[in-house]
Amino acid sequence: MIEYEPVIGLEIHAQLLTATKIFCGCSAAFGAEPNTHICPVCLGLPGALPVLNRAAVDHAIRAALALGCTIHDRSIFARKNYFYPDLPKGYQISQYELPLATRGAVELTRDGQTRRVGITRVHLEEDAGKSLHEGFVDSDRKTYVDYNRSGVPLIEIVTEPDLRSAADAAEFFTRLRALLVWLGVNDGNMEEGSLRCDANVSVRPAGASALGTKAEVKNLNSFRFLEQALAYEIDRQIAELRDGGRIVQETRLWDSAAGRTISMRSKEEAHDYRYFPDPDLPAVAVDAARVRRIQSAMPELPDARRRRFVAAFGLPEYDASQLTQSPAVAEYFERTVAAGAPPKQAANWMMGELARALKDAGADAGSSPLGPAQLAGLIALVEKGTISGSIAKGVFETMFATGRSADDIVAAEGLTQISDESQIAALVADVLATHADAVAQYRAGKTTTFGFLVGQVMKAAGGKANPKRVNDLLKRALEP
């Protein structure tokens, strides 16, 4: 039986985080009353002239540079003609022959394997409006259209057919989302449609170099749907070929309820769109100084920061990738270490107690009521042996809830760990006297009783005795 290999390329649409639309001054904000963010330009009324939004171009350049692309000093807006009710002009303004940026690449590491994923192009375009098929009393007969989204700035990112599994594709999309959010060019909100993915997939006999015929699965708006749709589509295509059939080039939709892809239409070709340069818009000129300026304002990217966390702080790979999920988390970590916390301890607290508390409070590292210096203060008390690890968890809760410092809470509540030998020895003596039975059992060889006695000493100490000292002194006292 022939083995088949999947080949996948993605086309991702990302809304650029700008205040206004790409060719007019209307608000680009999500969630307003329908048809309140509209004007003659984004409604495509006759005579209205588009004017390019500079901030959108800067964001697009920033994203393209982070994806390793070459920025072109001259790119062209074209009209992509098709009829659809959500497209009032009858064409979408998009870059076609001369896009803003081309030929980038990113490295994708999954399960210890690194793969290079080529970025074919990054181009600018406008979004269409939104057809509303549900939610009105007469929705069974009518479709409404909201043009607020019409003219919102997008970039389209097209990858080379370099991905080789559904899991690879989902991982790539996940990383790309994190990168765009990190750069501040996209809000990553997939439910609101700020980020959408079309997946192109074909299969070919393993080892073959020619590409098979592809199908395109449109509008996958979650990582899970992307992975499920691709897994289904790969199986479908392989089964079709093994049955002696052939794959037709077409556009398909993911039916998440049924768990399968369904044919939507045969694939349109570029010439169907009658692309031509938009006569209302001059070429987009981007000079080298502008590219340099944007490049030099680029933050350290997540991959680089992850590698630095491993190299400079000796963190395990896993911790480093957790702590570089967002700039706020990475910043918090570095500031905790700068305030004196040992890196691995800082990482443990952040990934454990802090992450949980933030999640419960609906906050994030950037808005944490407990700052890095305070966390470092708590960690220092544990490191010095002033408080035990279990007492520290309680102190953490109080710090998080009240904003007080660890020193303060430990002093006010008398939580300092008891390490003093004579104090602990006295507690041990008391416990041995009141639990003569247990002592006798222990001496008769029932060594499990030891744990019980430790527990009694800790209880007598209000949980504050240094556990190692308790163990040592108890052992000594029990020796015949």
Which positions lie near Zn ion, rule CB under 5 A? 24, 26, 39, 41-42
Nearer to ligand ADP, 229 or 329 (CB): 229
Instruction: Find, among 428, 410, 412, 413, the residue nearest to 467 by Cα.
Output: 428
Residues in a beta bridge with 196: 13
42 binds, among Zn ion, ligand ADP, none (CB under 5 to 8 A by kind): Zn ion
50 binds, among Zn ion, ligand ADP, none (CB under 5 to 8 A by kind): none
Q: Which residues bind ligand ADP (CB under 6 A)?
A: 7-11, 158-161, 200-202, 211-212, 214, 270
Nearer to ligand ADP, 38 or 247 (CB): 247
187 binds, among ligand ADP, Zn ion, none (CB under 5 to 8 A by kind): none
Instruction: Find, among 423, 479, 430, the residue nearest to 450 by Cα.
Output: 479
26 binds, among Zn ion, ligand ADP, none (CB under 5 to 8 A by kind): Zn ion
24 binds, among Zn ion, ligand ADP, none (CB under 5 to 8 A by kind): Zn ion
Residues 64-103, buried b or exposed e (16+ Cβ, 10 A)?
bbbbebebbeebbbbbbeeeeebbbbebbbbbbebbbbbe
Minimum distance from residue 40 beta carbon to Zn ion (Å): 7
Minimum distance from residue 468 beta carbon to ligand ADP (Å): 59
Q: What 8-state DSSP symbol labels residue 354?
A: I
Minimum distance from residue 42 beta carbon to Zn ion (Å): 3
Nearer to Zn ion, 41 or 215 (CB): 41
368 binds, among ligand ADP, Zn ion, none (CB under 5 to 8 A by kind): none
338 binds, among Zn ion, ligand ADP, none (CB under 5 to 8 A by kind): none
Minimum distance from residue 294 beta carbon to Zn ion (Å): 26
3-state helix/strand/coil string of 175-212:
HHHHHHHHHCCCCCCCCCCCEEEEEEEEEEECCCCCCC
Q: How far apart are CA 200 and CA 213, in angstroms?
A: 10
Nearer to ligand ADP, 80 or 89 (CB): 80
* CA distances (Å), origin 47, targets 37, 41, 43, 128, 402: 19, 9, 11, 19, 60
Residue nearest to ligand ADP (CB): 9
Minimum distance from residue 118 beta carbon to ligand ADP (Å): 8
Dihedral of the CA atoms 330, 336, 342, 348 (nearest 10)? -60
Nearer to Zn ion, 10 or 41 (CB): 41
Q: Based on the number of CB atoms within 10 Å of its own CB, is 337 exposed (0-12), middle (13-18) or buried (19 or more)?
A: buried
For the record, the structure tokens of 389 come out as 């690890």
Minimum distance from residue 158 beta carbon to ligand ADP (Å): 5
Minimum distance from residue 32 beta carbon to ligand ADP (Å): 33
